[in-house]
A and B are shown apart, each in its own frame.
Chain A
Amino acid sequence: MSVLEVQNLQKRFGTLEVLKNIGFSLDKGETAAIIGSSGSGKTTLLRCLNFLEKPDGGRILVDGGVIFDAADPKTQKESEIRKKRLHFGLVFQSFNLFPQYTVLKNVRLASELLARERPDYRKDRKAILDGLGAEARRTLESVGLSDKLDCYPHQLSGGQQQRVAIARALALAPDVLCFDEPTSALDPELTGEVLKVIRELAERRTTMVIVTHEMDFARAVADKVVFMDGGVIVEQGTPEAVLVNPREARTRRFLTRYSGA
C-alpha cells in the first residue's frame, strides 16, 4: 500500500498557479526524485507536504488515511496540523540548524519537547531523556558525525551541517523524509558526503522525496522520478523511463539543457 498519496494538489500565490492538479504516490521504502527547472513548483510541493504552505485544493493521504483535504476544514485545524507534520521530515536547502545549540542538542531538541507530552514523562523523565540522548548519538553516528557532538553549527563545514540536519529530521522517525535541494547550497567538493548519506538511507529503505538537480544521483538512487514543469507533473516513472527514454518533448528539452550545462 502507498505510504504517501497526493491527489489533485493545487496551490496559488495570488493569481499565480504554482501547483496544478499534482498527483503521485509512493510506496513504503521507495525514494522519489522530483526534478524540474526553478519555478516549476517542486519546492512548493514539498512545503505543502510539510504544511508550511496550505494547499488550495486536493488531498494528502498517509498510509491510506486522509491527513489533509482542502474541502474539509476539519483536517486543517492548527492544533492537529502540528501533529500531522510529524508524518513528514524536511531537510532544507540552507540547513537551518539552530545556531545556539550544539550538534547533539539540535538533533535531540524536538524529541525532548515532544516527550514532555507523554503521560509517563514526569515519572520516568530521566530514563526517557537518557534514551533520547542515546538515540540522537546513534543517529549522528549513522551520518558519520560522532566526533562533532559538542560542536556548534558554525564550526562545521556545509556538508557536515547538512548531515546534522538530516540526523535532526531522522530523529523523529518520519514516515516520509523530504529533501529540498539538499546539496544546492554546498561547494561542489562537499556534495559527495551528503549524497552518500542519502544513498545509504535509500539502501536502508527509508521512504524519501528528494527535490534535486543532481541527475546522476537521481538516476542511481531513486525508484521513481517525477518531472515537473510549470506547476504540473509532466512525466513520472522509473529513472530509466523518465531520464533515459522520456516520452514528452518538454522532459527531453529539460534533460538536454541539463547535460549541456
Chain B
Amino acid sequence: MSLSLVSARLFESFMLNGEIFFITLLLGLPLGLVVSFGSMSRFRPLSWLTKTFVWIVRGSPLMLQIIIVFYGPGLIWGIKGVGRVDATLVAFVINYACYFSEIFRGGIEGIPAGQKEAGQVLGMTRTQVFFKVTFLQLVKRIVPPSGNEIMTLVKDTALANIIANKEIIMMAQEYGSKGYIWPLFYTLVFFLAACGLLTLLLGRVEKKLSYFR
C-alpha cells in the first residue's frame, strides 16, 4: 500500500465530490434566488406552496432525499435506470437551493426600504432598482452566511455514497474492507484542503466588498 498510489486513487474519487460541489453551486444558487422570489411572492398560494416545500426539504435529511430521488421514480412510476450521479445531483441542487433561498430572502428583506424608494423616485424601473441598487448590497449581505452553507456542502458531498457513488469516503472504505484503515483518516486532508482554499477565497470576496457599508 504505497502512499502515492492511495493518494492518486483518493484524489481521483474526490473529483466526484468536486463535481457534486460545483454543480450544486452552479445550479443551486440561481434556483435558490427563484425559490426566494416564490416565498416572497405577494400571490399567497405561491408563497405558501414555496414555503411548505422549503420546510419539507430543510426538515428532512439530505441522505434520505438522495435515496428518494434515486429509488422513488422506479418505485412510484416504474421508471428504470435513474443514474446514481444524476439522482445525487438533483437531490443536492434542490436541497441547497432551499437553504440558499432562505439566505437570499433574509438578505433582500434586510435591505432598507429606503434604498428601493430612492431608486424609484429617481425614475428607475423595477429591473434597474434590482440590478443597480439592490443587487450588490444583497451580494455583500449574503456572502458570509452563504460561505457557511458552502463549507457544509463540501463535507455533505460525502453523503453521495449512500447510493454507492464512488466518492472519496467510499473509496477509502474499500481500503478499510481490505484491512487498511489509514486511508479513511487520510481523506480528512482532502476535505481540510478544500475548505481551507474556500475560506481564503471567501475572505477575499468579503474584503473586495468591504469598500462600502
A residues near B, CB below 8 A?
A: 50-52, 82-83, 85-86, 88-90, 92, 94, 96-101, 109-110, 113-114, 152-154, 168-169, 172
Contact = CB atoms under 8 A, between A and B. Distances in A.
B211 A86 contact: no
Contact of B120 (A85, A101, A154): A85
Given A113-B132, A154-B213, A96 B122 contact: no
Given A92-B114, A97-B118, A172-B122, 4 more contacts: A92-B117, A98-B115, A113-B128, A154-B213
B185 to A, nearest CB: 46
Given A109-B132, A113-B132, A154-B212, A83 B115 contact: no
Nearest to B139: A100
A168 to B, nearest CB: 7
Q: Most chain-A CB neighbours within 10 Å: which of B112, B114, B125, B212? A: B212
A94 B114 contact: yes
B124 A113 contact: yes
Contact of B137 (A85, A100, A109, A152): A100
10 contacts: A51-B121, A96-B117, A98-B119, A98-B133, A109-B122, A110-B119, A110-B122, A152-B213, A169-B122, A172-B122
A100 B211 CA distance: 8
A208 to B, nearest CB: 15
B211 A152 contact: yes
Contacts of B140: 100
A105 B122 CA distance: 13
A51 B213 CA distance: 28
A184 B212 CA distance: 24
Interface in B112-163: 112, 114-115, 117-125, 128, 132-133, 136-137, 140
Nearest to A101: B212
A110 B133 contact: no
